[in-house]
Amino acid sequence: MEKRIQFNRPCIAGNELEYVMQAVRSGHTCGDGPFSKRCQAFLEERFGARKALLTTSCTSALEMAGLLCGLEAGDEVIMPSFTFVSTANAVVLRGARPVFVDIRPDTLNLDERLIEQAITPRTKAIWTVHYAGVACEMDEILAIARRHSLQVVEDAAQGVNASYKGRWLGTIGDLGCYSFHETKNFSSGEGGALIVNSAEFEKRAEIIREKGTNRSQFLRGQVDKYSWVDVGSSYVPSDVLAAGLLAQLEWMDRITTQRGEISGWYSIMLAPLADRGLLRLPTVPDHCVNNFHMFYALAADLAERTALIEHLKRGGITATFHYVPLHTSAVGQSLGGRPGTLPVTEQLSERLFRLPMYFDLSQRDVFRISGEIGRFYGVQPARS
């Protein structure tokens, strides 16, 4: 049998080891060293962000957002149920309650038309998630937030280097959260960043990230000693990790272009199946620029998806489903979630499957994957 096609393989840009060695040799291995500064400067310049702060993960960045939004017991935060647990955990950790709203059938993003009816006097913020690196309808969401004086946080874990109407994801709301986990486009194994877009949060973000101290100001010589000034935790990653990340960030265009190629091959090869209505391929609105984080498709129903994933597995190909909707999970139900209340989320999450997508996935691999899918449906894929 041919070799197994994995679901994900981290990209190696090439300079990772050299930069890591420099970081180790320099003796500055704790956080906010030269490589961290270069990564932060890169993100700030490239995306025009007011401030980028590296964090140990996107989960950490989301937890910082929960603290910065001042969430307290009884507060409510509107978010999709179709997301990773970290989006909701960051809110629950503050004693606040996630209020799950259904998603749009086309992009699988928070449905902005359903937000206003979910707002109550306890609503503090809207937390958006840009699924698969395709933007939420941010203009509408920002307008709703302004009308009701709510904060907007973007979980842009999957949205690094993707844009909405010319604005980079993560820089549109008050705060943005990036992930540099192994499974994301640009990676340091584990890692993330908090993007601070509103002046209001700038000073406090730095303090919360440094265990609740004003150490950052001290290191800049702005105060003569540092001390405990607020709550906080340890959200600063080692400079060794930042060194590896810098090598990846420097390859941002190259990685994105290559992923775009791969995504294009899938779209062309699977088009005959989509044309016959057997599969639904991803929708990217004209005003959104994709970073090709993921290639997913929708099967007819849960039984068909299960059989297809099994068929691909037998053919040596790893495909996966994605989120179990949070409102139907054990914790979600303990927070008041009930199956049957978010029909689009529930139906589409049962139909969705993700195909292998990584930097060195070859055209031949994509043809083999498309061929197996074609065999399952009895339709020849196209050659690109």
Ligand X SMILES: *Cc1c(COP(=O)(O)O)cnc(C)c1O
The upper half-sphere exposure of residue 344, i.e. CA atoms within 13 Å in the direction of its Cβ, equals 16
Q: What angle do CA 368, 372, 378 make, to 5 degrees?
A: 135
Q: Where are the beta strands (DSSP E) in the chain?
A: 51-55, 76-80, 97-101, 123-129, 151-155, 163-164, 167-168, 175-179, 192-196, 288-289, 295-298, 352-355
Rounded least distance, CB 129 to ligand X, Å? 5
Task: Choose which of 51, 94, 97, 181 interacts with ligand X (CB under 6 A).
Answer: 181
What is the chain's percent helix, strand, coil content, to nearest 5? 40, 15, 45
33-68 burial: b if 16+ Cβ within 10 Å, else e = bbbbebbbebbbeebebebbbbbbbbbbbbbbbbbb
Count of residues that bind ligand X according to CB under 6 A: 14
Of 54-62, 269-277, 334-342, 343-351: span binding ligand X (CB under 6 A): 54-62
Q: Where are the beta strands (DSSP E) in 66-119?
A: 76-80, 97-101
Rounded least distance, CB 83 to ligand X, Å? 5
Q: Is 237 in the site for ligand X (CB under 6 A)?
A: no
Q: Is 79 in the site for ligand X (CB under 6 A)?
A: no
Task: Choose which of 20, 58, 125, 138 interacts with ligand X (CB under 6 A).
Answer: 58
Coil, helix or strand at residue 253:
helix
Q: Is 109 in the site for ligand X (CB under 6 A)?
A: no
Q: Is 155 in the site for ligand X (CB under 6 A)?
A: yes
116 — phi, psi (to 5°)? -60, -35
Q: Is 187 in the site for ligand X (CB under 6 A)?
A: no
Q: What's the rounded Cα separation, in Å, for the pair 192 and 80? A: 21
Of 3-11, 78-86, 310-318, 364-372: span binding ligand X (CB under 6 A): 78-86
Q: Which is nearer to ligand X, 111 or 155 (CB)?
A: 155
Q: Is 278 in the site for ligand X (CB under 6 A)?
A: no
Rounded least distance, CB 89 to ligand X, Å? 9
Name which of residues 120 to 149 contact ligand X (CB under 6 A).
129
Q: Is 107 in the site for ligand X (CB under 6 A)?
A: no
Task: Choose which of 36, 40, 57, 214 interacts with ligand X (CB under 6 A).
Answer: 57
**Contacting residues toward ligand X, per CB under 6 A:** 57-59, 83-84, 86-87, 129, 155, 157-158, 179, 181, 192
